[in-house]
Amino acid sequence: MKSAIKLLWLPILLFPMLAGADDRAALQELLNTFLAGASVSDIAAHERFWADDLVYTSSNGTRRGKPEILESRSAADPAAGDEPAIAYSAEDVSIRLYGDTAVVAFRLLGRTEGQPQPAEFFNTGTFRKRDGEWQAVAWQATRIPAPEAPGDWIDLSHELSPDAVFWPTAAPFAMTTDFEGMTDKGYFYSAYSFCTAEHGGTHIDAPVHFAEGAHHVNEIPVDQLIGAAVVIDVSAAVQADRDHRISVADVEAWEAQHGAIPTGSIVLLRTGFGQYWPDAAKYLGTARRGAEAVAELSFPGLHPEAATWLMEHRGIKAVGIDTASIDHGKSSHFETHVALMTHNVPAFENVANLDRLPPTGAFVVALPTKIRGGSGGPLRIVARLGGN
């Protein structure tokens, strides 16, 4: 009798497993078919793959729906030579099922003829099963930077220009032409004048910016601006909360994977906000100007407790971030600035291209304009991979 009961339960127990296997196979086949079609700009492949209520987020943060995707693919004609042919494939595919919902994550490779290295993206898609058919309802594409060669120099500075992001209360960068053209003696000559706030674009906050009696920008020891760097990536947490404050727990989680931060390091904090530059509305949280716009600022920063921990327990000599301020946008008392700068630790703000640096192994040179008595200034910061 017991054996009969066990046999009766067996199909009930096996059915979800078999159904799950069928759904995984169907999703894998759907993905493979779509990528084959996308490689030849097959509109039908896109029509089948994307749901009508799709929300697609590109690597630069742009959101599109199905109509926009179909329109862009209709305009592309590989046979006409408008775009180079790209062959797409998926690697490291993970499929998780939750009833009639599935999450598919994979590494997308796009191989262009004549290019030695494929473009790489990490893609995550949410699928819904409706009327027996799976379709993607949400999509996030994240570009994986191409690996840099040891010895390469990476520029971590944004250009100063009228488009550069400045604090809402600061006048934007301005440049005028003094002379440009051929001289009466027959040679070309150009000269310009520019006007800029200390704290705009990629720049340094000297300790005196928030600590009376601390170093002005011309007094910061050069060896405090040059050295080995670590890059702490908190972009995943920031995707969930754009006002995230990087905590001691975030630092400890990084150390659990990469080891303790060496004494005397320059700590660079990657929030992912560099992708929004120079779109002030996305980067700052507001495109408005003036004192009233400060209350609308919204971006991540370093928690003051984490700043204190990094100084007391790791002896860091400088810190940098890919946002407009080392404090988060909603800060009103700038506790992180105060914590760092009362200990003569400078901050680099609006740092670019942190996605091109590894967690460890970069050597940073961050030299600001040497303004006597300045509280900061424009910064040209670069990193060399693979050692000093």
Structural domain boundaries of the chain?
Answer: 2-144, 153-385
Number of H helices, E strands in the chain: 8, 18
Q: In this structure, what token pair is assigned to residue 105?
A: 């994550």
Q: What is the pLDDT along the chain (388 residues), one digit of tens a residue?
A: 545 444 444 454 444 444 568 899 999 999 999 999 988 889 999 999 999 999 998 876 778 899 998 888 776 555 545 556 789 999 989 999 999 999 999 989 888 876 767 888 889 999 999 999 999 999 998 877 666 667 889 999 999 999 999 999 999 999 999 999 999 999 999 999 999 999 999 999 999 999 999 999 999 999 999 999 999 999 989 988 999 999 999 999 999 999 999 999 999 999 999 999 999 999 999 999 999 999 999 999 999 999 999 999 999 999 999 999 999 999 999 999 999 999 999 999 999 999 999 999 999 999 999 999 999 999 999 999 975 5
- 246 near 232, Cβ under 8 Å? yes
**Can you identify the CATH homologous superfamily of domain 153-385?**
Putative cyclase (3.50.30.50)
- Contact between 341 and 205 under an 8 Å Cβ cutoff? The reply is yes
Burial class (CB in 10 A: 0-12, 13-18, 19+), 185: exposed
Extract the tokens encoding 306: 């984490």
pTM as predicted: 0.68
Residue 299 is predicted with a pLDDT of 97
Of the candidates 49, 54, 127, the one whose C-alpha atom is nearest the C-alpha of residue 88 is 49
* Residue at token pair 């003036």: 290
The SS3 assignment for 46 reads helix
**For position 77, what pLDDT does the model report?**
53
DSSP secondary structure of 261-310: PPTTPEEEEE-SGGGGTT-HHHHHS----SGGGGGG----EE-HHHHHHH
- Integer Cα distance of 173 and 202 in angstroms: 12
Q: How far does CA 253 lie from the centroid of its chain?
A: 19
Task: Count Cα atoms within 13 angstroms, Cβ side, for 116.
Answer: 2
Q: How many CB atoms lie within 10 A of CB 355?
A: 17
Question: CA distances (Å), 318 to each of 60, 187, 227, 337, 368, in order?
Answer: 28, 45, 9, 12, 13
Residues in contact with 326: Cβ distance below 8 Å, sequence separation at least 6, in sequence order? 205, 301, 302, 307, 319, 336, 337, 340, 347, 349
Burial (0-12, 13-18, 19+ Cβ within 10 Å), 256: exposed
Please identify, in words, the CATH class of the domain defined by 2-144: alpha beta
Task: Give the count of alpha carbons within 13 A of 300, CB side only.
Answer: 24
pLDDT at 264: 97
What radius of gyration do the chain's Cα atoms show?
26
Q: What's the CA gap between 258 and 221, in Å, rounded?
A: 28
Looking at the chain, how many residues does it have? 388
Q: Please, are residues 127 and 102 in contact by the beta-carbon 8 Å criterion? A: yes
The separation between CA 340 and the C-alpha centre of its own chain, rounded to angstroms, equals: 24
Contact 360, 227 (CB under 8 A): no
225-247 burial, b at 16+ Cβ within 10 Å, e below that, comes to bbbbbbbbbbbebbeeebebbbb
